[in-house]
Amino acid sequence: MRITVIALTCAAAAAAQTASGTLTIGKEQFELKHAAATIVKGATRIVVADKPIPEDLLDDESQIWDLKTQGYHGFQLDITSDKANYSLVVISSTLPGTVTMSGTFHPERLSVFTDKRVEGALEEAPEMIGESRVGYSVKFAAPVLPPEPPPTAADRTAAASKESTRVYLALVAAIRAGDKQKIMELAPPDKRAAIDTPQFPELLKLVQAMTPTNIQVLKATETGDHAKLLARGTMDGAAQRG
């Protein structure tokens, strides 16, 4: 009986968070099977892809866009809370650059749009966007994850002892010092090839200019070999957080 209950629970969860359709890029088609959603500032964010989407990165655009380096194909869709406007970013390593779309949204494409759940059907015939021919046709349904609560003093204390915090702060120090060897040691394996290139000195200058000072880690969540950090710092005298 316990096995049956577990199986039914898993099946219900899968049905509650699904997608069915295709993403067309050039002459290739990718089958979209998975959907996830959350609330971000002023909008509902929906991510649809061909692989299961890690829920802990839904509020971080840079990590969503970086899914293309992990073989993902899909898109991120942000719809304003009044369903008036949208922005869409295509996720795929097959693209020569970034493909984005934005404009007025057609709310009739959504059958459910609440702070608990989204369901709908989206379709755009393939057309040239920049250098790429892109289109999609997909139905999706997903629960809307609530925004992550603000970090507490206890979160900050716990983060100070986490291995991910130590590695992150060491990487920041190496970037500031321009220590290429240390950066190579601390960077994720999939980023090392981009570091060990003749263009590294110019890339380093850019990264140094974009790295805040006085960084403090406010929260660190570690799951297996994956870590998510929330930190704050100062950039050109202004507070930054992310």
pLDDT over 60 (residue 183): yes
Query: How far from 191 is each of 14, 58, 167, 222, 242, CA to CA, in Å?
Result: 32, 21, 15, 20, 20
Work out the pLDDT band at 16, boundaries 50, 70, 90: low
Percent of the chain at pLDDT exceeding 70: 92
State how far the Cα of 171 lies from the Cα of 180, in Å rounded to an integer: 10
Mean pLDDT of the chain: 88
**Residue with the larger pLDDT of the pair 129 and 72:** 72
CB 123 within 8 A of CB 108: no
According to the model, what pLDDT value does residue 17 have? Answer: 67
Show the tokens assigned to 102: 């934005």
Buried b (16+ CB within 10 A) or exposed e, 134-169: bebbbbbbbbbbeeeeebeeebeebbeebebbeebb
According to the model, what pLDDT value does residue 1 have? Answer: 30
pTM of the predicted model as reported, rounded to 2 decimal places: 0.73
According to the model, what pLDDT value does residue 5 have? Answer: 31
Phi, psi of 61 (to 5 degrees): -60, -40
**Residue with the larger pLDDT of the pair 20 and 9:** 20
**Residue with the larger pLDDT of the pair 57 and 33:** 33
Show the tokens assigned to 193: 């090839």
Summarize pLDDT for 121-160 with one digit per residue, the tens: 999 999 998 888 999 999 999 999 998 888 999 999 999 9
State how far the Cα of 125 lies from the Cα of 135, in Å rounded to an integer: 5
Summarize pLDDT for 210-239 with one digit per residue, the tens: 899 899 999 998 877 778 888 999 887 777
According to the model, what pLDDT value does residue 40 have? Answer: 94
Summarize pLDDT for 78-108 with one digit per residue, the tens: 999 999 999 999 999 999 888 999 999 999 9
Measured distance between the N- and C-terminal CA atoms of the chain, rounded to whole angstroms: 45
pLDDT over 60 (residue 14): no
CB 57 within 8 A of CB 145: no
Percent of the chain at pLDDT exceeding 90: 62
According to the model, what pLDDT value does residue 130 have? Answer: 85
According to the model, what pLDDT value does residue 187 have? Answer: 85
Across 203-212, average pLDDT = 89
User: Torsion angle, CA of 49/53/58/64, rounded to 10 degrees?
Assistant: -60
